[in-house]
Structure 1
Amino acid sequence: MEVDCATIRIGVDVGVAVDLSLKGNAAHRGVLAHQKTTTTPDATTGITDAVKHVIESASISPSRVATVTIGTTHFMNAVIERDARRLRPVAIIRVSKSFLREIPPFAEWPADLARLIRGYVGYVDGGIHIDGREEASVIEEQVVQEATKIKELGLNTIVVAGVFSPIDQDFKQEDRIRDILLNEIPGADVVCSHTVANVGFMERENASILNAAILKYARKTVKAFHLAMRQLYLTCPIFITQNDGTGLSASSAAKTPIRTFCSGATNSMRGAAYLSGKNLDGLQSIVIDVGGTTTDVGVLLSSNVPRQAFAYVEIVPGVRVNYSLPHLHSIGLGGGCIVRHVDGKVTVGPDSVGKELEREALVFGGTTITATDIAVAAGMANIGDSSKVSHLDHFLVEEARKSMKKMFETAMDVMKLSPDPLPVLLVGGGAIIAPESLQGAASLTRPIFYDVANAVGAAISQISGCVDILQDTRTQSVQQAISHAKRLAIEKAKESGASENSIHITEVETMPVSYIEKRIRIIARAVGDVDTRVSFPQFQFEEDQDDDDIDDEPERFSQRLDDPILKSEEVNPLTYSPKVVYQNDRLEWVVSVTDVAYLADGCYVLGCAGGGSPAAVKIQLTRMLREGYIMRIIDPSALGTDDIIYSGGGLGSPAVGVERLQSTENVSAMKALMAYLGHDNFQAVMPIEIGGGNGLEPLLLGSSRFFNVPVVDGDWMGRAYPTAWQTTLAAHESHRLVPCAIDSGDGSTIIMTASSSDKLVDSILRAACVEMGSAVGAATRPTNKADVTKYAVLNTFSLAWRIGRSIARCNFSNTISSVAESIIEEAGGPGVAKILFRGKIIQVENELSQGHSYGVVHIKSFDHIEDEDQSSRPLMAAVAHGGLLKLPFKNEIITAEHEADDGEVKIIASVPDLIAVLDNGSGKALGVPEFRYGYRVTVIGITCSPRWVDTERAVEIGGPKAFGFANEYQPLGTYVQPKSVIEEYRPKKFAEE
């Protein structure tokens, strides 16, 4: 089709027409017409009316329209509203011969949403290792059998999700399974997970399931968009805005509607930059999008593309996904927020009259004082009837205005990476409540047509291409790997319809893969203008697709809807008591689902940013408990003199765990070592390290499902360390790791019988681990009560539980700002633990020192301490104030190096003391995978066990010099042994004895 003269682009959120050939006109920036419409229940009425209005009001010839780009919330709303008419039940086929069985799909989903969507779950052989090798080959007969079961259930929407499928370049297992399924179930919708999201199995699978559930409705909706536009004589390409602020062809959106779920905020950001008319190239800028109820704050990069959130996000509570989303901070402040004056205190929001503003606000004749009324009364805005707010008390107006100004400034500060002032763009219908100046803003601009920036952003949207790949750097340099990723991103953008000459790279992020040499993960994003000069076949929607009307009452499937993982357990952490009973001639702590939750959060704090996330093993243990299995913890004093005590945990890269999920390779490793040593049984189990996911592993091993033995309240580190030889046992006696065993979980086991040093054992096992898939279960030489008493760090399960409970209590009582103080009290008080620093993560990088490679997280001090929940508890003073804190880490944090504002540098804490980073928003620990710019954090330090400092050898193994750092270890405080949960909660008749 001929579109050479087509320069007008129509964006639909409220409806706007933009002529890009006139964008240089400062008076209107090419905006020819705009029309506000309310959201309609059906997908097209409001959109059709908006487009029709702007065409007619600007007398636009259909031949001059280059594109129509639509921003829609209908797909997202179907999920949020649990709309059974728009969501389809989905069959899931997981692809792995040996993994994925322990943690089922929908493990953390809200029960009502899971019941709507979960149709069937099956497993077939396959899977890929992190280095690209096959775990197992796909067996066609297995796929055919699963297809038969799915057909019998009447399902025709299927998700195929395989381990490490996004890096499957050679075998294309998901694609092969899809082809087999389509041959068996013609016309089925089959979604391959690698086409939806990137590495991170549960999050990718969640995204794929949501995508599949909405597919039929998306097709119907996109088809309706096309028909509506044709009724207006528009034959131009149609795009749907996606989450990164760029456009997705309508036919592509019909295949991956999940990419459009959260596009509203990014449209506003892109529209803000365009409407401002300023040359912001080379500068980042803050965009504040003010609505009726909430305000979204985001950052535009120097390329005018919204900064993306690379960490996992929740699309709805409990459903984490890992596809591209904008990095936003939202606050409960909008034009409709209700203003109250109670007991001399003025508050603004977060409750709002929302869409009823024009009926409820004073300036419109209503009876509710809103933020809009305050703006008018303060002379900040001219809207409605100002005489209706002239009676408002001056104190009320001024305090409300100050409160709103402070809320805007705090939200801005959350998103900034440095204290340097940045340009700020104000958009959205509620932007009139923003003040004329904001601290931290280099300039403050409310551009023309600010209230329709969302639609303008849709109209001018570009086309993007993104790749997220793992590359081998043994045969190429890191720079060559980055260049390859850039080329792939550019090619993707071109294939999606971007004009080749306009494509440019907007973002590149590189991340080393922990414990795996010469492997690097690279994320690259390319963006370009829509190529309107030619017709692209992929833009044309296929009208002959089978899109029958969606059933009013779709059939639901009864399989596994009573899944115990879906049941919720509400517990008051202020009154909860763990169950300690006298049985087996001793006191035993019988672990509950609540205990596992507390232990998981506490173990992650003790992991010092390493140890691996406990999230997956927490789900596994929770499921087992709800299925009736028993887990027990005993005090070390309850051990018998001749008891045999095994220790186990995971060894390898955490990057593997995010794909394989939790499995039972630790059980297999322990069975192998028992067979070698001739042990038919043993009497107790202990973790090698209490920190991170490994801290919870003994509960799996000791459960009644497997070895049915108690777990000892203690471990061999008192924290997490990156290597197996950094234990208190090895620190005091040599050759304590062998004999030992490792198991891959998919059929390979190695037993090591002897070695000249424990350090060599770790090196050899890690080399074998790489060949076995880069993650294995491990079991080390058994110990006895004498070893535990003499060398172990005791009561560490008790400490982890108390830390987790303190986090839960602070969340429950809305005192998150003082969670660090609460954790310090549980650790023994200020003499044992301290707050080291409060600030915001501004950078994460990699460095090399004395041959040791490690990462560094940089944290910039807050300008002032904010107690956002207005807790009555005073905040504890930090060891260091102002300046910058650098935390070098090799999975676990090594030192805390403070650089004062005057340039003075000082080590304020170091290993073997524990250094942990807490997220100020949740109170929970952040691990290395979660270190991202913008997080507001509190860094705490906890004094290590004397086991790490009572000999020169111990300090040598666990101190800073073991990591290549020259500083001498200086203790943070004086160690106090954690209080035993078993002793505190023992039955009364035993407590009295």
Structure 2
Amino acid sequence: MTYRIGIDVGGTHTDAVILDQNSNLVAKTKSATTPDIGTGIQKAIAACMQQSGIDPAQVTHAMLGTTHCTNAIVERHGLSSIGVVRIGAPATLAIPPFTGWPEDLKNTVFVGSTIVSGGHEFDGQRIAALDEAEIRRAGREWKGKVAAVAITAVNSPVDTEDELRAKEILAEELGEGVHFSLSYEIGSIGLLERENATILNASLVEAAKRMVDGFESSLAENGIEHAQIFLSQNDGTLMRSSYALRFPVLTIASGPTNSIRGASYLTNEQNALVIDVGGTTTDIGVLVQGFPRESSLVAEIGGVRTNFRMPDLLSFGLGGGTRIREMGKDVQVGPDSVGYQLPQKGLIFGGDTLTATDIAVAVGQASLGDAAKVDHLPKPDVEAAYKRMIELVEEAIDKMKTSADPVPAILVGGGSILLPNEMAGVSKVIRPANFDVANAIGVTIAQVSGQIEKIYSLTDWGRDKALADAKETAIREAVAAGAGEQSVEIVDVEEVPLAYLPGNAVRIRVKAVGELSV
């Protein structure tokens, strides 16, 4: 018998599960997230291994979902020093790299940037010759100063030649040990957002290495030394740790998507709302055909506009540890939380802070701790506070629905015990078994994906040939990320005609998904 272990690191709890080769739950645990993250992961793995009693050598796969890279950007901490090359002069000189970035984030990562001539039109026609001399000059200037370089060329998803040549030149000048982020591998068509995503990816290289090294150490400390390691992406699928080291930006927002995938697995629901209530926040996402609905909006990460795929999520400050103030008609729910300190600070546990969990216990919705410790709270005030908590959730549900019709809602996360069995806009409330570790289950059962987005001239390619090329590329990406080649299938194809471009142009986006390679 072989086993998989999956860990999801949240702001409040680190959850871990072990599943056998038939995806049956063998062990589960929740432990407090620690400031250094690694200690919490190590403890969660140890608790699961002890509970299951299995031989560490039987663990063949280990999966991690974490907000580590998101936190690095938000906190401006542990980021890499980078140089930025944009290939697109004279067409792209008006708006330089880092435009619109928060000044403190830019100052944390910036070593230098340059815009050089080169790049292509959407149909592959060259804009200008690549200025190799300027790229070489920038490389000499940055030698010894940069840990990574972000390279972005105009329409590189159509023609990758200039980005690859720039990488060759810079590798000669900078020597070994410098990471290169190429925009054609990361973002979609739009230049500035693709460039931003590429810069963020380059800045996360060292943070990702610490994350992967820490995970490997935590596994090794528990005797798990030969498991294949995967990290979760923000579309609810997995990628090998080696792939994650190249594209750490794809792990951003992966936590909520694990809960959405776990909710689908635990309930067999393919289309529903997923309400994930943690210790600090509630995240609402939408299941579409078993995967998180992708957002159509430009994604902002740490104040930076990007254009890579992100789940459509609505997060707000309601969780098990949310502070409740101003009881009565002026009740204030959050948004701050006592987080992982709930067992010490909540009233029902003998603390001195009124939390959302205390209110849920006082109204009889939840049963934990010592209910007698909230008996002194005036009943009308308690009911008013609980009503406001539910209103926050119902307002968020309304914002995430695409029609007025009631839809099923799956409740997951340890804090979901706060919510009632009936809510406005919901046809039925589903509470699956093991709802409290749905996020860890989601990362453990996840598949591996690859995605391609590219503009084709149908006049040159023809529709059938263009679609076949896009599908083939997406399948290659999925295999590179760790999918077994025989199991990969195309799950999503999107064609958008681009009337403003000549040559019968169309933007094709294809997603391929497969099972983990053994």
TM range (shorter): over 0.9
Correspondence 1:115 to 2:101:
no
Distance in 2, matches of 1:512 and 1:484, equals 17
Tell me: CA distance 1:227–1:356, structure 2 relative to 1, closer, same or farther (3 Å): closer
Segments of 4+ moved more than 6 angstroms: none
Q: Which residue of 2 aligns with 1:781?
A: none
- Within the candidate set 206, 219, 228, 1:237 is matched to 228
Residues 15, 51 of structure 1: 8 Å contact kept:
no
Q: Secondary structure at the match of 1:410?
A: helix
Tell me: CA distance 1:515–1:22, structure 2 relative to 1, closer, same or farther (3 Å): closer
Correspondence 1:421 to 2:406:
yes
- Within the candidate set 161, 165, 182, 1:176 is matched to 165
Tell me: CA distance 1:230–1:116, structure 2 relative to 1, closer, same or farther (3 Å): same
Q: Which residue of 2 aligns with 1:471?
A: 456
Q: Which residue of 2 aligns with 1:16?
A: 16
1:263 is matched by which residue type in structure 2?
Answer: S
Correspondence 1:246 to 2:237:
yes
Q: Which residue of 2 aligns with 1:263?
A: 254
Gaps of 5+ in 1: 24-29, 533-993
1:33 is matched by which residue type in structure 2?
Answer: A
Residues 478, 513 of structure 2: 8 Å contact kept:
yes
Q: Which residue of 1 aligns with 2:474?
A: 489
Distance in 2, matches of 1:343 and 1:496, equals 53
Tell me: CA distance 1:490–1:78, structure 2 relative to 1, closer, same or farther (3 Å): same
Q: Secondary structure at the match of 2:71?
A: helix
How far apart are residue 483 of structure 1 and its match?
5.0
Correspondence 1:525 to 2:511:
yes
1:925-944 equivalences under 5 Å are none
Residues 12, 68 of structure 1: 8 Å contact kept:
no
The number of residue pairs the alignment matches comes to: 511
Distance in 1, matches of 2:435 and 2:97, equals 43
- Within the candidate set 70, 73, 88, 2:64 is matched to 70
Tell me: CA distance 1:347–1:226, structure 2 relative to 1, closer, same or farther (3 Å): closer
Correspondence 1:37 to 2:40:
no
How far apart are residue 45 of structure 1 and its match?
2.5
Distance in 2, matches of 1:296 and 1:258, equals 20
Correspondence 1:297 to 2:287:
no
How far apart are residue 531 of structure 1 and its match?
1.7
Tell me: CA distance 1:390–1:227, structure 2 relative to 1, closer, same or farther (3 Å): closer
1:82-93 equivalences under 5 Å are 82-83=76-77, 86-93=78-85
Residues 295, 311 of structure 2: 8 Å contact kept:
yes
Distance in 1, matches of 2:420 and 2:295, equals 28
Tell me: CA distance 1:370–1:216, structure 2 relative to 1, closer, same or farther (3 Å): closer
Tell me: CA distance 1:361–1:219, structure 2 relative to 1, closer, same or farther (3 Å): closer
Correspondence 1:208 to 2:198:
yes
Distance in 2, matches of 1:410 and 1:217, equals 36
Distance in 2, matches of 1:211 and 1:412, equals 32
Distance in 2, matches of 1:11 and 1:261, equals 16
Tell me: CA distance 1:82–1:122, structure 2 relative to 1, closer, same or farther (3 Å): same
Q: Which residue of 2 aligns with 1:680?
A: none
Residues 498, 529 of structure 1: 8 Å contact kept:
yes
Distance in 2, matches of 1:79 and 1:505, equals 33
Correspondence 1:164 to 2:155:
yes
Gaps of 5+ in 2: none
Distance in 2, matches of 1:338 and 1:288, equals 20
Q: Secondary structure at the match of 2:66?
A: coil
Q: Secondary structure at the match of 2:157?
A: helix
Distance in 2, matches of 1:390 and 1:457, equals 38
Correspondence 1:218 to 2:208:
yes
Residues 17, 437 of structure 2: 8 Å contact kept:
no
2:470 is matched by which residue type in structure 1?
Answer: A
How far apart are residue 478 of structure 1 and its match?
4.9
Deviations 1:938-968 (A, max 9, x none): xxxxxxxxxxxxxxxxxxxxxxxxxxxxxxx
Correspondence 1:96 to 2:88:
yes
Q: Secondary structure at the match of 1:48?
A: helix
Distance in 2, matches of 1:415 and 1:355, equals 28
What's the % identity of the aligned pairs? Answer: 39
Residues 229, 235 of structure 1: 8 Å contact kept:
no
Residues 305, 506 of structure 1: 8 Å contact kept:
no
Deviations 1:237-272 (A, max 9, x none): 001111111111111111111111221100111112
Structure 2 length normalisation: TM-score? 0.92
1:286-435 equivalences under 5 Å are 286-302=273-289, 304-317=290-303, 319-341=304-326, 344-435=329-420
Residues 95, 126 of structure 1: 8 Å contact kept:
yes
Structure 1 length normalisation: TM-score? 0.49
Distance in 2, matches of 1:472 and 1:129, equals 11
Q: Secondary structure at the match of 1:369?
A: coil
Tell me: CA distance 1:391–1:22, structure 2 relative to 1, closer, same or farther (3 Å): farther
Q: Which piece of structure 1 moves more, 69-78 or 323-332?
A: 69-78
2:243 is matched by which residue type in structure 1?
Answer: S
Q: Which piece of structure 1 moves more, 5-14 or 127-136?
A: 5-14
Residues 11, 457 of structure 1: 8 Å contact kept:
no
Q: Secondary structure at the match of 1:168?
A: coil
Distance in 1, matches of 2:369 and 2:473, equals 53
Residues 295, 310 of structure 2: 8 Å contact kept:
yes
Deviations 1:617-637 (A, max 9, x none): xxxxxxxxxxxxxxxxxxxxx
1:722-871 equivalences under 5 Å are none
Tell me: CA distance 1:193–1:480, structure 2 relative to 1, closer, same or farther (3 Å): closer
2:56 is matched by which residue type in structure 1?
Answer: P
Q: Which residue of 2 aligns with 1:274?
A: 265
Distance in 2, matches of 1:296 and 1:150, equals 42
Tell me: CA distance 1:44–1:331, structure 2 relative to 1, closer, same or farther (3 Å): closer
Residues 10, 18 of structure 1: 8 Å contact kept:
yes
Distance in 2, matches of 1:450 and 1:415, equals 21
Distance in 1, matches of 2:388 and 2:188, equals 41
Deviations 1:365-406 (A, max 9, x none): 223332211211221111111111223222222222222222
Q: Secondary structure at the match of 2:242?
A: helix
Q: Which residue of 1 aligns with 2:271?
A: 284
How far apart are residue 469 of structure 1 and its match?
0.9
Correspondence 1:192 to 2:188:
no
1:275 is matched by which residue type in structure 2?
Answer: L
2:163 is matched by which residue type in structure 1?
Answer: E
Residues 325, 332 of structure 2: 8 Å contact kept:
yes
Q: Which residue of 2 aligns with 1:138?
A: 130
Residues 16, 32 of structure 1: 8 Å contact kept:
no
Distance in 2, matches of 1:429 and 1:504, equals 34
How far apart are residue 59 of structure 1 and its match?
0.9
State the structure with more CA Rg.
Answer: 1
How far apart are residue 418 of structure 1 and its match?
1.9
How far apart are residue 476 of structure 1 and its match?
5.9
How far apart are residue 273 of structure 1 and its match?
1.7
Q: Which residue of 1 aligns with 2:2?
A: 6
Tell me: CA distance 1:9–1:350, structure 2 relative to 1, closer, same or farther (3 Å): closer
Distance in 2, matches of 1:275 and 1:366, equals 34
> Relative CO higher for 1 or 2, CA cutoff 8 Å, sep ≥ 6?
2
Distance in 1, matches of 2:224 and 2:280, equals 37
Q: Which residue of 2 aligns with 1:911?
A: none
Distance in 2, matches of 1:219 and 1:148, equals 26
Residues 156, 185 of structure 1: 8 Å contact kept:
no
Q: Secondary structure at the match of 2:167?
A: helix
Tell me: CA distance 1:250–1:316, structure 2 relative to 1, closer, same or farther (3 Å): same
Higher helix share: 2
Distance in 1, matches of 2:256 and 2:441, equals 12
